[in-house]
Chain A
Amino acid sequence: MLPGKLFMHIPDGFLSIPVSIVLWVVSIVVIGIALRKTSKQLGEKEIPLMGILAAAIFAGQMLNFSVTGGTSGHLLGAALVTILLGPWAAILVMTSVVSIQALVFQDGGLISLGSNLFNMAIVGVFVSYAILTVVNKIIKSEKTALFSSSVIASWFSIFIVSLGCAVELVLSGTSPANIAIPAMASIHALIGVGEALITLGAISFVYTARKDLLKIGSASKSTNKGILIGGSVITIILAILSPMASSHPDGLEWVAEKQGFLSVAQDSIYNLIPDYVMPGLTNEAVATIIAGIIGAAVVFVLIIGVAQTRKKTSS
């Protein structure tokens, strides 16, 4: 009955008030810009299109496929909507979805809604748009560019949003950096594969049925430089800095270290859970980067696999 749950909707009580307020302000500003840009582009058609598409994305998030052992693949949809509508309209659609989830279904809190909007509606769309644009510039063939860019963009949107989510929890003092960041990153490196596969399926369906709707490569190349730069900066900062941050002790441990308690604390960690995600790797930065590389490799293998099956079916 309830929408598919991703481990991304932060409830109230988990974020500190300064973090919540700063992200509320950022979200309000960006959504305000998105409103102005979209109403200029679409005119009075804006409201029915956004509203109904948001309802469809909400319903689409409920459709899942079983992976194995009770786990299932879900959709967030930020990349998918960005491909279909372009970044500004996508921000509005995702804003509506995330808001309804918080207001009606309590999936995510009310005070933390600002940061959930920031993560899923803004970072998700910015990152997707930046990657879509870059991949479409690199790959010349239109069809290959469309499919590979949607796979890469949707995987990265999930991965980067989860890093953002983890950083916010760390900044709020809710989770220690050296556990939250690698854990969120490795879980979502896998969840991102589900997102990438569903997005690929949806885009290939739309490509077959209504090719005219897919205009991301051609439409508004120069007008959205701000999002392109913003998305790239967010991606690079979170992808590079969060593994580095996760290898440093968090505030609490820093205090513990100062007072000579670290050896005790570490003993306790090693007794119950190892202080790193991948057994055998002592450095969390390395572990996170490796999780990222594994995820990227899985996506790459998937692209090749899909390309192969397409070849087979066409020949």
Chain B
Amino acid sequence: MIEIYQHQKSYIHLLNTRVKTLFTLVFILCVSLSPTGTWPAYLLFLTVILAGIILSRLSFKLLLIRSLISLPFVLAAFPILFTAPEPHWQLSINEKIKILISQPGFERFISIAIKSWMSLLAAILLSSSTHFEELLSALRKLGLPKPIVSILSLMWRYLSLMIDEGRSLARARDSRSAGKSNVRTIGWRAGVTGKMVGNLLLRSLERSERVYAAMAARGYTGDPLYRTSKSFTKGDYWILTCGVMLCLLILAFAILSQ
């Protein structure tokens, strides 16, 4: 369900995961650091990420749909449209109601939305061209502590199992209430949901005991478990350097053109 695109083969998919991860972080950092309203620089950043998407041969439409996930959060920046200072644009709805939109506020709002969207595209590109286990082993090589990597890797292995259990609980609830979500009071509905969550937690606690017993039986003594990643070649080093330089150049351009 979750890993549908990661099996494809393309230049981006085959690229060393550490290169991809570091580049994505540098890209997002540079996008975040570029000042408000530097539109030409934004266009350059967008070109970089679009080039990545085209090279990855992922469906642009699907990435676009996935990138809408943080759209509701734009609401958080919405008020600055009206609270930022002069000069204002005036929109008249009728004689009495006039809306004043601050021009600097508008600039900031659009900048935040674009920067956030480009960062999101980069993160989606990384996660949909990389196996999660590979990503974890790359993060381990980059210094993420062993226990965290092991916990995340084990969580990943049991995630789809737990989601399935959650789904079957939800299906059981829906079939017992004839598919109607509005039966009885809110308190009752919430209580049932809470008991489902409690059920899930108990099952997971018991399962973790069994998993631990099985791991111990196979000789587990607390050493972390994760995959090892590909080695870092000279070619990877050059690709990463070029990518990072490109981002920094665009950032410098953004700051100078401000």
* Chain A residues engaging chain B, CB cutoff 8 angstroms: 1-2, 5, 7, 9-14, 17, 20, 31-32, 35, 39, 43-60, 62-68, 73, 75, 77, 80, 84, 92, 95-97, 99-100, 102-107, 109-111, 169, 173-176, 178-180, 194, 197-206, 209-210, 213, 250, 252-253, 255-256, 259, 261, 264-265, 267-269, 271-273, 302, 305-306, 309
Measured between beta carbons, the chain B residues less than 8 angstroms from A63 are 166, 169-170, 193, 196-197, 200
CB pairs A–B below 8 angstroms (20 shown): A5-B72, A31-B148, A51-B155, A52-B207, A55-B156, A55-B161, A56-B162, A56-B203, A65-B193, A66-B182, A100-B155, A110-B28, A111-B29, A176-B83, A180-B76, A201-B197, A203-B198, A253-B83, A268-B100, A272-B82
Q: Is B38's CB within 8 Å of the partner chain A? A: no
**A104 & B2 in contact (Cβ 8 Å cutoff):** yes
Q: Is B233's CB within 8 Å of the partner chain A? A: no
> B190 touches which one: A39, A198, A255 (CB < 8 A)?
A198
A253 to B82, CA, bound (A): 11
Query: Please, which residue of chain A has its CB at the minimum distance from the CB of B170?
Result: A63
**A179 & B83 in contact (Cβ 8 Å cutoff):** yes
> B69 touches which one: A55, A75, A107, A210 (CB < 8 A)?
A107
> B211 touches which one: A14, A52, A109, A210 (CB < 8 A)?
A52
Knowing A13-B115, A106-B70, A110-B28 are in contact, say whether A264-B181 is a contact too (CB < 8 A). Answer: no
By the criterion of a CB under 8 Å from any partner CB, how many residues of chain B are at the interface?
97
* Chain B residues engaging chain A, CB cutoff 8 angstroms: 1-2, 24-25, 28-29, 31-33, 66-67, 69-70, 72-73, 76-77, 79-80, 82-86, 88, 97-102, 108, 112-113, 115-120, 123-124, 127, 132, 135, 145, 147-148, 150-159, 161-163, 165-166, 169-170, 181-182, 186-187, 189-205, 207-208, 211-212, 215-216, 220-222, 224-225
* Minimum distance in angstroms from B115 CB to a CB of chain A: 4
A294 to B127, CA, bound (A): 42
Query: Please, which residue of chain B has its CB at the minimum distance from the CB of A12?
Result: B119
**B66 & A106 in contact (Cβ 8 Å cutoff):** yes
> A109 touches which one: B28, B165, B220, B221 (CB < 8 A)?
B28
> B119 touches which one: A32, A109, A199, A204 (CB < 8 A)?
A109
Measured between beta carbons, the chain A residues less than 8 angstroms from B222 are 43-44, 47
Report which residue of A46, A49, A58, A267 has the largest number of chain B beta carbons within 10 angstroms of its beta carbon.
Answer: A49
* Minimum distance in angstroms from A212 CB to a CB of chain B: 11
**A202 & B197 in contact (Cβ 8 Å cutoff):** yes
Measured between beta carbons, the chain B residues less than 8 angstroms from A302 are 187
**A51 & B181 in contact (Cβ 8 Å cutoff):** no
Query: Please, which residue of chain B has its CB at the minimum distance from the CB of A45?
Result: B212
**A12 & B120 in contact (Cβ 8 Å cutoff):** yes
4 tightest Cβ-Cβ pairs between the two chains A and B:
A201-B194, A51-B154, A13-B116, A205-B198
* Minimum distance in angstroms from A179 CB to a CB of chain B: 4
List 10 other contacts, CB 8 Å, given A59-B200, A272-B82: A12-B123, A13-B118, A14-B112, A17-B29, A48-B154, A55-B158, A59-B159, A173-B108, A209-B202, A252-B84
Measured between beta carbons, the chain A residues less than 8 angstroms from B86 are 256, 261, 264-265
**A206 & B2 in contact (Cβ 8 Å cutoff):** no
A39 to B123, CA, bound (A): 31
**A67 & B186 in contact (Cβ 8 Å cutoff):** yes
**B115 & A47 in contact (Cβ 8 Å cutoff):** no
**A62 & B166 in contact (Cβ 8 Å cutoff):** yes
Knowing A64-B193, A111-B32, A205-B194 are in contact, say whether A53-B204 is a contact too (CB < 8 A). Answer: yes
A56 to B200, CA, bound (A): 6
* Minimum distance in angstroms from A148 CB to a CB of chain B: 15
Measured between beta carbons, the chain B residues less than 8 angstroms from A10 are 73
* Minimum distance in angstroms from B66 CB to a CB of chain A: 7
* Minimum distance in angstroms from A4 CB to a CB of chain B: 11
**B161 & A96 in contact (Cβ 8 Å cutoff):** no
